[in-house]
Amino acid sequence: MDKMKKLKNNFWWIVVSILLVGLIFAEEYYINLFKDTGIIHLHAFLIILITFGIFSVAWIQLSGIRKTAKDEFLLEVDKRYSSTEIMEARVILQEFYCATRREGLKDGSFEHNKLISEEITATWKKKDASKKFIRLMNFLYLLETMAYFCNNNHISGVDIKELLGGSMKRNFEWFEELIYKFQKKNSKDCYKEIIKFCKVTK
């Protein structure tokens, strides 16, 4: 169905392009035929009109291509977010979220997020938590990819918020301690996209 729609759109784009080129040749013929009658202003007017038409059609076509590319990317991200390995990581995060709830501590507060962050960081060097750590890293890699595309205006923060069911900033706060430990050990460029995104959206 999508292929048929694309073929139909391309067909109409070709038809419109041929008509516009035909108008240019017809207009040139008309001007040469009546160049001695003083209708020179019609030439300029038609050139402007045709140029405007070409740019309008090109802009509409380009907008459609961009929207299609964005939709396809969001669909792929959605598939990745719903994949088995990411679902496993989300389950682990939910377990940490529940395990760190305390009486008198507001859910999702800075203090609560810090406790979750400590739980995540603890999986880094625990031998019996290696599988959890790898799954959590897969989730973090996905967040970094999302942040990269947001930072480069391919998708919006609103799109990602709807996909995640919450802000990326909250997820960043959970991984923040581990991210900075990675930067200290390896490179300051580690996970720079998600850091940049969360600083901009504060």
Q: pLDDT (tens digit, 9 = 90+) per residue, 71-108?
A: 777 778 788 888 898 999 999 999 999 999 988 888 88
How many structural domains is the chain composed of?
2
Domain membership flag for residue 165: yes
- 23-38: per-residue pLDDT in tens? 555 555 555 555 554 4
The DSSP annotation for 40-104 comes to HHHHHHHHHHHHHHHHHHHHHHHHHHHHHHHHHHHHHHHHHHTSHHHHHHHHHHHHHHHHT--TT
CA distances from 51 to 44, 56, 98, 165 (A): 11, 9, 62, 45
Domain membership flag for residue 108: yes
Whether residue 88 sits in one domain with residue 32? no
Whether residue 186 sits in one domain with residue 99? yes
Q: Which of 39, 74, 109 is the last residue of a domain?
A: 74
Whether residue 152 sits in one domain with residue 101? yes
Whether residue 115 sits in one domain with residue 196? yes
Provide the b/e sequence for 158-196 (b: ≥16 CB within 10 Å).
ebbeebbeeebbebbbbbbbbbeebeeeeeeebbbbbbe
Whether residue 191 sits in one domain with residue 98? yes
User: CA 190 to CA 186: how far, in whole Å?
Assistant: 8
What integer best gives the mean pLDDT of the chain?
A: 76
Whether residue 88 sits in one domain with residue 40? no
Whether residue 152 sits in one domain with residue 180? yes
Domain membership flag for residue 79: no
Whether residue 113 sits in one domain with residue 62? no
Q: Which of 74, 107, 123 is the last residue of a domain?
A: 74
Whether residue 177 sits in one domain with residue 90? yes
Whether residue 116 sits in one domain with residue 44? no
Q: Which of 52, 74, 96 is the last residue of a domain?
A: 74
- Supply the range of the domain harboring residue 51: 2-74
Please state whether the predicted TM-score (pTM) of the whole model is above 0.75: no
pLDDT beneath 70, residues of the chain: 1-70, 200-202
Whether residue 186 sits in one domain with residue 106? yes
